[in-house]
Chain A
Amino acid sequence: NAGVTQTPKFRVLKTGQSMTLLCAQDMNHEYMYWYRQDPGMGLRLIHYSVGEGTTAKGEVPDGYNVSRLKKQNFLLGLESAAPSQTSVYFCASSLPVEGAEAFFGQGTRLTVV
């Protein structure tokens, strides 16, 4: 099993450009999450999904959109990138069981110039 795989691993964008980050998991998990991590800080929840076709906002959703068309994939989109979105983005997945482990991907380092 690959677990949680994120693509790309690195990306540099110009202000105003758009891009999509892909998260794929092969553990048949219902719940998926997108977090961002800024320097010296813990992770903050952007959006999450409790199942195929459903998404919801987290703590810091502004400037991002998400889609979950297939159970195994969770996409994070930036329509018009801003320097404030320079961050490391992590995807995670979990079974919807209290006390379950959340599995994280290796991250996407995004720089917006």
Chain B
Amino acid sequence: DAKTTQPPSMDCAEGRAANLPCNHSTISGNEYVYWYRQIHSQGPQYIIHGLKNNETNEMASLIITEDRKSSTLILPHATLRDTAVYYCIVRVPFYNQGGKLIFGQGTELSVKP
């Protein structure tokens, strides 16, 4: 199974962009990169996902390198409510264990005033 590697913790000033890196060097061509976050051990909350192209939604942007071995989640204007554990996840195709999500250990992001 593809594995993701993230820094264990990061700090960010409120109002600034938070850039969270992730390495997934063993990802296969048909596996997606997903990002979820978890606040206070609640259920993981979906943020964004991508396969090859960069993606943007109302919450964040996802930048995937051309070789797909790494990606960066960008929160453009971090707020205190963005303090959470952020998981970079590889999702396998559905014919492989039902499209399971492979979680790493996550990055604990602290947004400070």
A residues neighboring B (CB under 8 Å)? 4, 31, 33, 37, 40-45, 48-50, 56, 58-59, 88, 90, 92, 94, 96, 98-107, 109
A42 with B97: CB separation less than 8 A: no
Write the chain A residue with the least CB distance to B89: A42
Contact segment of B19-27, B40-48, B58-66: B40-48
Give min CB distance, B33 to chain A, whole Å. Answer: 11
Complex interface: chain B residues within 8 A of A98 (CB): 30, 32, 93-94, 99
The main secondary structure of chain A at its interface with chain B is strand
Known: A33-B100, A45-B100, A99-B49. 6 other contacts (CB 8 A): A31-B98, A42-B103, A43-B101, A45-B97, A101-B46, A104-B44
Contact status of A42 and B41, CB under 8 A, knowing A96-B99, A101-B49: no
Q: Which of A37, A59, A99, A109 contacts B32, CB < 8 Å? A: A99
CB pairs A–B below 8 angstroms (18 shown): A33-B100, A41-B103, A42-B87, A43-B101, A48-B98, A48-B100, A50-B98, A56-B98, A58-B97, A59-B100, A96-B99, A98-B99, A99-B32, A102-B34, A102-B46, A105-B43, A106-B42, A109-B41
Complex interface: chain B residues within 8 A of A101 (CB): 46, 49
The 10 closest A-B pairs by CB, nearest first: A42-B103, A104-B43, A48-B98, A43-B103, A106-B43, A45-B100, A104-B44, A101-B46, A96-B94, A105-B43
Cα–Cα distance between A88 and B103 once the two chains are bound (Å): 15
